Amino acid sequence: MADAQQISLTIEGRQVSVAPGTTILEAAKQAGVLVPHYCYHPGLPSPSSCRMCLVEVEKAPKLQPACVTAVGEGQVVHVFSEKALEQRKGVLEFLLINHPLDCPICDKSGECELQDYVYREGPARGRLHDPKRFNPAEDFGGDVLYVTNRCIMCTRCVRFMDSVAEDTVLNVSERGDRAVIGVFEGKGLTHEWAGNVIDICPVGALLSKDFLNKARSWELDRTPSICPNCSQGCNAIFETRDNQVVRMRPRSNTEVNQYYLCDSGRLDYRWMNRTDRIEAPLVRRGDRLAAADWDEALRAAALHLNGKRAFVLASPMLSNESLWMLSRLVEKTGGKGAFRVRRGPEAPLPGAPDLALRAERAANVRGAELFGFTKTDAPLAGMADGDVLVIADHDLAEADVAELARASAVIVIGTVLPEAARQAIVVFPSTNMAEEEGTFTNIRGRVQRYQQARSGPGMSQPVWWAVGDLLTFLGEGAGHYSASETFDALAAARPEFTGMSYETIGLKGQLMAGSSEPAGTAG
């Protein structure tokens, strides 16, 4: 439908129509053209200072900065004309003269925007015959290391801390070519969301101390996923090397986390690489647990569950698929289920709509509650004496230990065998969320997919897979053998998920029926 308000212009020969007030740079994105830039970032106010985005606009006397110039009706814009290319080459040359060119030892190598544009459009040789400027590196606090010599003064980091984190701890100090990014002594980047400056830095000037020298960017496999460490459900990318998760980075989603991840979330991935895992199904033989195959373990578990009620302690970190299957087990046996969730202080990111490190530090509290699990600080209080306790990857607190004795038997389906549950009769090895695919439901009711980033150890399987087979052994018919199928069955059975599928959820997620996100979240 042609909107009379739209402005039409031509960018690199492509016609595009956009709302008045749109910048040439954003209009170009819609036309499928990327205007090279550094200081511009869609989440930040634009200073137009890097001068990379200068484009040729026919009939305009000078090149125009695309990031702040509004579109005009009938404009003809050239991003790759000779004039524009020459100007950009000049900017790149200026940026390189004092740059240490230490790509061989720089973590950013391979994902560096200076490398990218210089390779494509930069000068082949430098013309500097004078000594380069030198400044020592600085620890900015938090996870952030500032390598001053690589800085191109785009000031994205300063603007992020100022306008998005609303914690103005970074400044530009000095003037001219002496300018550097600075902090005030004693007041560094301790803000919960400060680590984002590392992501938005286009070059290797701001580095993660956690990731320092761990891996080269081209050695990494990248998997779209969800950060599981609180109920916000920020979209993330899990980066792995040799089957180890080595870094979590934000994946942009304007409905959830804009372009950001919090530090508590992103730096808490080591548990995904734990090696003290349950690797095979175990059954009790006398006073010890011995490895068995799945069938034997399932048979043993079904035997103990026969005629008994199952009380399921279900971790709020489990997927919708796993929790739903567990709820079917509860239903089948006439039992109950509960969970405890770890809490911490909420830490909002003020400049982003409805974004915070949430108090509930688990990915799927909403899902757990939806499928009938009671949220309580004393989850085992609801277990009746003689119930079969099924611990589905849930931690055991000291207070829980005493209660275990009341269960007639303990079955563990999990990643790690808790010390206190060593009396279990059957143990099934499960994958953690990095080792499987599935969905979480976030605090706002948004169902989001996560994908498999590494392979799980030994004979581990997702919880929904194990429970599906267990139900088969309990007479329920065949289980499901893909997460997607499991989800489809879930969606058919639960009204909140009606019409949803992995296809409709895609990579941006989908709101459950009856849910809404607060006004201000980009629609």
Partner 1 sequence: MGGTRPGSDASHAVHTSDAHYEPVFAGEVERELEELLTHYPTKMAALLPALWIVQRERGWVSEEAMAEVAERLVLTPAYVKGVVTFYTMYHQHPVGKYFIQVCTTSPCGVCGAEDTLRALLEHTGCGELGATSADGRFTVVEAECLGACGFATPIMINEEFVESVNKDNVTDILSRLP
Partner 2 sequence: MGYPHKPHPRETPILSRHFGDAEARTLDGWKKRGGYRALEKALGMTPEEIINEIKESGLRGRGGAGFPTGMKWSFMKHGDGKPHYLCVNADESEPGTFKDREIMRWTPHALVEGAAIGAYAIGAETAYIYIRGEFTEPLRMMGAAVKEAYAAGVIGRNAMGTGKRVDVYVHKGAGAYICGEETALMNSLEGKRGNPRPKPPFPAVAGLFAMPTTINNVETLTAVPHILNEGPAWYKAMSHSSPKSTGSKLFSVCGNIARPGNYEVEMGFPFKDFLYDVCGGPPPGRRFKAVIPGGSSVPIQTMEEAEATLMDYEGFIAQGSMLGSGGVIVFDDSQCMVKQIARLARFYAHESCAQCTQCREGTAWTTRILERIERGQGTMEDLDTLLSLSKQMTGTTICVLSDSCATPIVSGISKFRDEFEAHITGKRCPMGATAAA
Place of tokens 């938090």: 142
Look up residue 176 and give its two tokens: 């001219």
Asked if 47 touches partner 2 (CB under 8 A), the answer is: yes
User: What is residue 163's three-state secondary structure?
Assistant: helix
Which one-letter amino acid corresponds to residue 250? P
Q: How far is the CB of 59 from partner 2 (least distance, A)?
A: 16
Q: How far is the CB of 206 from partner 2 (least distance, A)?
A: 18
Which one-letter amino acid corresponds to residue 502? Y
Q: How far apart are CA 503 and CA 324, in angstroms?
A: 19
Look up residue 227 and give its two tokens: 């950060």
For residue 102, the partner it binds in partner 1, partner 2, none, with Cβ less than 5 to 8 A by kind, is: none
The whole-angstrom distance between residue 244's C-alpha and the CA centroid of its chain comes to: 16
CA atoms within 13 A on the CB side of 163: 13
User: Max Cα separation, the chain?
Assistant: 89
| Span of 173-181, 209-217, 448-456, 512-520 interacting with partner 1 by CB under 8 A | 173-181
* Residue selected from 19, 34, 60, 128 as contacting partner 2 according to rule CB under 8 A: 128
Asked if 184 touches partner 2 (CB under 8 A), the answer is: no
Asked if 138 touches partner 1 (CB under 8 A), the answer is: yes
Tell me how far CA of residue 351 lies from CA of 45, 233, 262, 356, in angstroms: 11, 18, 13, 10
Q: How far is the CB of 185 from partner 2 (least distance, A)?
A: 19
Asked whether the beta carbons of 417 and 396 are under 8 A apart, the reply is no
Tell me how far CA of residue 340 lies from CA of 272, 302, 327, in angstroms: 20, 26, 16
* Residue selected from 76, 97, 128, 172 as contacting partner 1 according to rule CB under 8 A: 172
For residue 111, the partner it binds in partner 2, partner 1, none, with Cβ less than 5 to 8 A by kind, is: none
Q: How far apart are CA 439 and CA 494, in angstroms?
A: 15
Residue 294: CB atoms within 10 Å: 16
Asked if 206 touches partner 2 (CB under 8 A), the answer is: no
Q: How far apart are CA 252 and CA 235, in angstroms?
A: 7
For residue 128, the partner it binds in partner 1, partner 2, none, with Cβ less than 5 to 8 A by kind, is: partner 2
* Residue selected from 171, 244, 273, 484 as contacting partner 1 according to rule CB under 8 A: 171
DSSP string, 93-137: HHHHHT----GGG-TTTTS-HHHHHHHHHS-SS----SPPP----
Sheet of strand 235-241, all strands in order from the earlier edge strand to the far edge: 221-226, 235-241, 244-250
For residue 184, the partner it binds in partner 2, partner 1, none, with Cβ less than 5 to 8 A by kind, is: partner 1
* Residue selected from 23, 98, 240, 264 as contacting partner 2 according to rule CB under 8 A: 98
Q: How far apart are CA 523 and CA 504, in angstroms?
A: 17
Asked if 30 touches partner 1 (CB under 8 A), the answer is: no
For residue 94, the partner it binds in partner 1, partner 2, none, with Cβ less than 5 to 8 A by kind, is: partner 2
User: What is residue 514's three-state secondary structure?
Assistant: coil
CA-closest candidate to residue 201, choices 410, 98, 310, 50: 50
Q: Site map for partner 2, 155-174, x if CB under 8 A? A: -----------------x-x
Contacts of 342 (CB under 8 A, 6+ apart): 360, 361, 362
Q: How far is the CB of 251 from partner 2 (least distance, A)?
A: 30
Asked if 139 touches partner 1 (CB under 8 A), the answer is: no
Asked if 51 touches partner 2 (CB under 8 A), the answer is: yes
| Span of 42-50, 108-116, 181-189, 350-358 interacting with partner 1 by CB under 8 A | 181-189
Asked if 130 touches partner 1 (CB under 8 A), the answer is: no
* Residue selected from 19, 86, 123, 168 as contacting partner 1 according to rule CB under 8 A: 168
Q: How far is the CB of 204 from partner 1 (least distance, A)?
A: 20
For residue 130, the partner it binds in partner 1, partner 2, none, with Cβ less than 5 to 8 A by kind, is: partner 2
CA-closest candidate to residue 459, choices 495, 415, 510: 415
Asked if 119 touches partner 1 (CB under 8 A), the answer is: no
Q: How far apart are CA 451 and CA 431, in angstroms?
A: 12
* Residue selected from 103, 153, 420, 511 as contacting partner 2 according to rule CB under 8 A: 153
DSSP 144: E
For residue 169, the partner it binds in partner 2, partner 1, none, with Cβ less than 5 to 8 A by kind, is: partner 1
Which CB atom, from 142 or from 418, has the smaller least distance to partner 1? 142
Asked if 169 touches partner 1 (CB under 8 A), the answer is: yes
The binding site for partner 2 (CB under 8 A) comprises: 47-52, 54, 62-63, 65, 68, 87, 90-91, 93-95, 97-98, 127-130, 152-153, 172, 174-179
The binding site for partner 1 (CB under 8 A) comprises: 136, 138, 167-178, 182-185, 187
